[in-house]
């Protein structure tokens, strides 16, 4: 997967937030760590492009080992349970590792990956384990990426954050200007229009 990691991180963070809301009062922080985790394995590209000098594909680095992320993922709920302060950072650690693990699985859908590394250094080719009816479709992997992106866009559009981003709230305008926004000059309510007509003087004949 190339373009769908960040949207996938958004989807998982959004869906899991409902389950972990009691441990993560600040939703933005939870979402942020989930989305950072969704691209964290690809931070190894910095090494690949510099010190690594393109010699070994970055999917062979430990940062792309599914088992590495799985171990972190197993440890993070333990921290959440043991933390007596019920701090948000434990929920952030969980969503970060969950998204990191998901990244390695999504990469495996279309390319070689080291499923059992560091214990067994054997490459597995993900598409070989998928239904042939799917992999025969031209550009099927990009189609999957598009579905992930569309799913994330759908979740964002129906979220309160998107409404807030599109429509500025009156309270926020007041905070920004220090003044209460002026009320609309004309009313659109039918009852108000009827009242207005009663107050108008009769037409001089
Ligand atoms: Zn990757």
The mean per-residue pLDDT over the stretch 23-48 comes to: 92
Which one is predicted more confidently, 182 or 164? 164
Residue 31, H or E segment: helix 27-39
Residue 109 has what pLDDT?
83
Residue 160 has what pLDDT?
82
In a domain, 21, yes or no: yes
Residue 205 has what pLDDT?
42
8-state DSSP, 22: G
In a domain, 188, yes or no: no
Q: How far is ligand 1, taken at its centre, from the CA of residue 158, in Å? A: 29
By C-alpha distance, which of 19, 36, 23, 150 is closest to 99? 36
Is the peptide bond prior to 195 cis by the omega test (within 30 degrees of 0)? no
In a domain, 182, yes or no: no
Q: How far is ligand 1, taken at its centre, from the CA of residue 133, in Å? A: 25
Number of independent structural domains in the chain:
1
In a domain, 46, yes or no: yes
DSSP string, 103-146: HHHHHHTTSEE-TTTTT----EEGGGGS-HHHHTSTTHHHHHHH
Q: What is the C-alpha to C-alpha distance for residues 189 and 41, in angstroms, rounded to an integer?
A: 56
- Specify the pTM: 0.74
Residue 37 has what pLDDT?
96
Q: How far is ligand 1, taken at its centre, from the CA of residue 118, in Å? A: 17
Q: What is the C-alpha to C-alpha distance for residues 63 and 61, in angstroms, rounded to an integer?
A: 5
Parent domain of 147: 5-169
Q: What is the pLDDT of residues 116-151, one digit of tens each?
A: 888 988 888 888 888 888 888 888 889 999 999 999
Q: How far is ligand 1, taken at its centre, from the CA of residue 13, in Å? A: 18
In a domain, 93, yes or no: yes
Q: How far is ligand 1, taken at its centre, from the CA of residue 104, in Å? A: 6
In a domain, 138, yes or no: yes
In a domain, 94, yes or no: yes
Q: What is the pLDDT of residues 61-111, one digit of tens each?
A: 999 999 999 999 999 988 888 887 778 889 999 999 999 999 999 998 888
The mean per-residue pLDDT over the stretch 22-28 comes to: 85
Does residue 182 have a pLDDT over 50? Answer: yes
* For the chain, percent of residues with pLDDT exceeding 90: 40
pLDDT band, very low/low/confident/very high, at 204 (cuts 50, 70, 90): very low
Among the ranges given (5-19, 59-73, 165-179, 187-201), the one the predictor scored with the smallest mean pLDDT:
187-201
Residue 159 has what pLDDT?
85
């Amino acid at each position: 997967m190339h373009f769908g990691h960040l949207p996938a991180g958004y989807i998982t963070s959004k869906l899991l937030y409902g389950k972990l809301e009691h441990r993560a009062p600040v939703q933005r922080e939870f979402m942020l760590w989930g989305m950072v985790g969704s691209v964290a394995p690809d931070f190894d590209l910095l090494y690949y492009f510099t010190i690594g000098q393109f010699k070994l594909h970055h999917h062979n680095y430990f940062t792309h080992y599914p088992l590495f992320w799985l171990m972190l993922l197993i440890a993070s709920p333990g921290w959440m349970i043991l933390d007596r302060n019920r701090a948000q950072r434990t929920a952030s650690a969980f969503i970060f590792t969950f998204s990191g693990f998901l990244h390695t699985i999504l990469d495996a859908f279309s390319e070689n990956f080291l499923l059992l590394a560091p214990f067994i250094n054997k490459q597995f080719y993900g598409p070989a384990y998928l239904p042939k009816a799917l992999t025969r479709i031209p550009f099927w992997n990009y189609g999957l990426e598009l579905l992930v992106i569309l799913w994330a866009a759908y979740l964002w559009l129906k979220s309160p954050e998107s409404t807030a981003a599109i429509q500025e709230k009156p309270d926020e305008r007041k905070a920004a200007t220090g003044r209460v926004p002026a009320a609309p000059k004309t009313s659109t309510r039918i009852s108000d229009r009827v009242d207005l007509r009663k107050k108008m003087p009769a037409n001089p004949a």
